[in-house]
Structure 1
Amino acid sequence: MRPRRGLSPRRHALPPEPHGERPRSRSRRTATRYRPARRHARTVRVPGSVRALRRGTQRACRFRAPSLAHRGGPCRREDGCVGEVGLDFSRAHASTRAAQLCAFDRIVAACAAQPRAGRVVSIHAVHAATEALDILERHGLPAHATCIFHWFSGSGEDLNRLRALGCLVSVNECMLATRRGRAYARQLPEDALLLETDAPAWLDAPCSAAELEASLAHTLSLLAEIRGTSTQTLAPALAETSVRLLRL
């Protein structure tokens, strides 16, 4: 088809995304599904234990993890927080499966070769939990770092392997909206759980501290309900784990 008069086909093409970012969507509805719900910022009272993590949240928003896969050298001892790294074997990224496995293996190997006390590795595994766990086991990384699976959605067998390795799981509103996510949140021990927002939707997307806090508060409320406890009981335990890992 010929373009309409006055409109250039290039004008409507989406710009290429930098490596490692979530692709932008043409649909506003799709693009906003990963953002914290704004309505919670007005209706949810944020517990003091969540507010106590404000400083850590603001630091996390400014943090840019080093790219160990592209740096080429060994992992430096000062690399205390690594991630989010991992594997995404969903249909949109299936063509890069081999490259992803190579990159993640190099990152894990680098971290294992240069142990550092207190190192935290945040792991993303979409349709790839088994492969991610295989790589962690092969290099023995959980013995040298705290590995956190964000929004874990693997199989029940993968969950058992994850627990045996001593890995943690961070949960968000979207994870708790699924039946599997709720079941895992109920099964995991309290000290293996953390809160997250999975925000921003892409690098440098606008997302205020108030939105992050409101999303955390809503996730906390959902998690407490699923586990049959109160937010007053659950919040201090989760906050203690977060403070210990982030060394706040």
Structure 2
Amino acid sequence: MLIDSHCHLEYKGLVEDQQGVLARARDAGVGGFLSISTRQREWQQVIATAERESDVWASVGIHPHEADAHADMGEAALLEAAAHPRVIAIGETGLDYYYDHSDRTTQQALLRRHIAVSRETGLPLIVHTRDAEEDTAAILSEEMEQGAFPALIHCFTASAEFGRRMLDLGLTISLSGIVTFKNARDLQAIAAELPEDRLLVETDAPFLAPIPHRGRVCEPAFTADTARFVAELRGTTPEQLAEATTRNFFALFAKAAL
């Protein structure tokens, strides 16, 4: 069994046929889904789906693109939502300096609020980082010194050095369909060497469809394609990779259960 550790089931492209999307994924061997929120107004949507589907769990968080719109949101709102039994993670949150849709200082402040909630609840922090390696590493390192919290880097595309720094901090690394792209040689080299107990797979659906599905709306079913590719990179079987990543998922997301 595989688990899609990061998908957006409420996004356009998936929500219109959500039952079909889930059915196709289950047929492909995907037996669990972490449905990610990026704005406060999505929290009830992802929670409602997780209440309805026993193999779907929810996260609550604010994407860095949305930081300006949530600049005044305190920790209390996150804490209240995180108390729901189907919420197993905080995020996605982080820093995105590629698009700079929100003020960088606001992104950083909101990331720290998410970290505080992760630390208080024990729920893993889901970190998005793009063109912001130094600030992401600095904030995570500083905050870890104030008190440890579980975390992962989702859709990892950063440098090997950043990856090493994250592993040293105890983070898990999640690989998306990007690892299958022909121009992702550096990422493929990193994926081949990641510690087995720190590895997850995801789709980030409806985005980033892996080869051979480029150009299509990405679906959680495509977790299987990414897993097969990563297994080949690592010289293992898809079955062994599925077993390892599923074990890692439940070790990290301790609140999850099937």
Aligned with 1:200 (options 206, 214, 220): 206
Matched with 1:148 is 152
For residues 101 and 117 of structure 2, what CA distance do their matches in structure 1 show?
25
Cα 1:160–1:54 change in 2 (3 A) is closer
For residues 145 and 117 of structure 2, what CA distance do their matches in structure 1 show?
10
Query: Which is strand-richer, 1 or 2?
Result: 2
Matched with 1:35 is none
**Contact 1:148–1:168 under 8 Å retained in 2:** yes
Shift of the alpha carbon at 1:240? Answer: 1.2
Cα 1:61–1:141 change in 2 (3 A) is farther
1:58-137 alignment runs, 5 A limit:
59=50, 63=58, 65-67=60-62, 70-74=72-76, 76=79, 78=83, 80-90=88-98, 92-93=99-100, 96-112=103-119, 114=120, 116-117=121-122, 119-137=123-141
Residue 182 (1) aligns with residue 192 (2): no
Structure 2 length normalisation: TM-score? Answer: 0.64
**Contact 2:231–2:238 under 8 Å retained in 1:** yes
Q: Deviations over 1:101-160 (max 9, x none)?
A: 222233224433x2x34x111100001122112111111179533211012222222111
For residues 57 and 193 of structure 2, what CA distance do their matches in structure 1 show?
33
Cα 1:186–1:66 change in 2 (3 A) is closer
Cα 1:143–1:170 change in 2 (3 A) is farther
Counterpart amino acid of residue 85 in structure 1:
T
For residues 197 and 95 of structure 2, what CA distance do their matches in structure 1 show?
25
For residues 145 and 176 of structure 1, what CA distance do their matches in structure 2 show?
30
Cα 1:237–1:88 change in 2 (3 A) is same
For residues 57 and 249 of structure 2, what CA distance do their matches in structure 1 show?
18
**Contact 1:193–1:238 under 8 Å retained in 2:** yes
Q: Alignment partner of 2:200: what SS? A: strand
- Give 1 or 2 for the bigger CA radius of gyration: 1
Matched with 2:237 is 230
Structure 1 length normalisation: TM-score? Answer: 0.66
Q: Deviations over 1:73-119 (max 9, x none)?
A: 456373741011001010x317722221222233224433x2x34x1
Please list every run of 5 or more consecutive structure 2 residues that lacks an aligned counterpart in the other structure: 1-7, 14-22, 36-48, 63-69, 208-216
1:19-58 alignment runs, 5 A limit:
46=28, 50-51=29-30, 53-54=31-32
Name whichever of 227-236 and 216-225 sits farther off: 227-236
- Cα RMSD for the two superposed structures: 3.6
Aligned with 2:172 (options 145, 168, 185): 168
Cα 1:174–1:110 change in 2 (3 A) is same
Matched with 1:219 is 226
The aligned length equals 196
Query: What is the identity percentage for the equivalent residue pairs of Structure 1 and Structure 2?
Result: 27
For residues 124 and 161 of structure 1, what CA distance do their matches in structure 2 show?
15
Please list every run of 5 or more consecutive structure 1 residues that lacks an aligned counterpart in the other structure: 1-20, 25-30, 32-40, 202-206
